Amino acid sequence: MKAEGRNAVLELLKTDKTIDKILLQKDAQGVLGKIFAEARKKNVRVQFVDKMVLDKESPTKRHQGVIAFTTDFRYSDLYEMTGKEESLIVLCDGIEDVHNLGSILRVSECAGADGVVIPNAKGASVTEAVIRISAGAAEHIKVAKVPSINHAIEELQKLGYWVYALEAGGESIYQNRLTGKVALVVGGEDSGVKRLTREKCDKVLSLPLFGKVNSLNASVALGIAVYEVVRARTV
């Protein structure tokens, strides 16, 4: 797997994951120079190459002068995320767009979530593009792949989690104090949280909308929701 982009590679270097090598654009300065220094500290092999080599290796052509080659992304187990009395887990019910998944990982990590859960099928996986879009957050947050989101909801409820679907038509999120063990379910870009999944959740929570557009982007809605959890725990 490749991690490309300055933030993604810098964050990767902060972890204990195995980095096979880093391709760095010649005459590296600024942030690229910092990446080289961090790689030297960890004894990671660095090759200085022309931009055309990086362009050839980069699927997105947005490498920003650096690409790291790593072992495949290691998914966590669902139960590795649980155990804390104040806990936040995000479940993705059919998020297919890599930009949304990358943004979800980023906002979840920034808010201190214990992990993100995605299904084995019918959804985006953690790819090189997702790692880049997450700005390195994918290297710091646990991501579990499960047979189904509904099964994960049942398991979390057994462990004492309150599971909330983020969907239109529910109670206002601002009328609920989201403390303790909380799991938030965010739905796919087109269909939202599936009906059977909503029925398994303890509550459906909604964000008030005052404009003429009737929905928010999945990662934007989740960003508001996870920071409502943060607010509830800090005031």
- Per domain, the residue ranges of the chain are 2-70, 78-234
Q: Which of 77, 188, 220, 166 is nearest to 122 (CA)?
A: 188
- Residue ranges with strand state E in 100-180: 115-119, 143-146, 162-172
**What average pLDDT is seen over the chain?**
91
pLDDT of residue 153: 98
Q: In the structure encoding, which two tokens stand for residue 113, read together?
A: 């979530």
Length, in residues, of the chain: 235
Check: CB of residue 39 under 8 Å from CB of residue 46. Answer: yes
Given pLDDT bands bounded at 50, 70 and 90, which one contains residue 136?
A: confident
Mean pLDDT confidence for 205-217: 85
Output b/e per residue, 168-200; b: 16+ Cβ within 10 A: eebeebeebebeebbbbbbbbeeebbbeebbeb
CATH code that applies to domain 2-70 = 3.30.1330.30
The residue type found at 43 is N
CA distance 15 to 141: 11
pLDDT of residue 76: 94
Question: Is 80 exceeded by the pLDDT of residue 187?
Answer: yes
pLDDT of residue 137: 92
Question: Is 80 exceeded by the pLDDT of residue 202?
Answer: yes
Q: In the structure encoding, which two tokens stand for residue 198, read together?
A: 């909503």
Given pLDDT bands bounded at 50, 70 and 90, which one contains residue 74?
A: confident
Residue with more model confidence, 31 or 154: 154
Share of the chain above pLDDT 90, in %: 62
CATH code that applies to domain 78-234 = 3.40.1280.10
The residue type found at 106 is R
Given pLDDT bands bounded at 50, 70 and 90, which one contains residue 131?
A: confident
Given pLDDT bands bounded at 50, 70 and 90, which one contains residue 197?
A: very high
CA distance 108 to 106: 6
Check: CB of residue 173 under 8 Å from CB of residue 205. Answer: yes
pLDDT of residue 214: 75
Question: Is 80 exceeded by the pLDDT of residue 224?
Answer: yes
Q: In the structure encoding, which two tokens stand for residue 33, read together?
A: 């120079």
CB atoms within 10 A of CB 20: 11
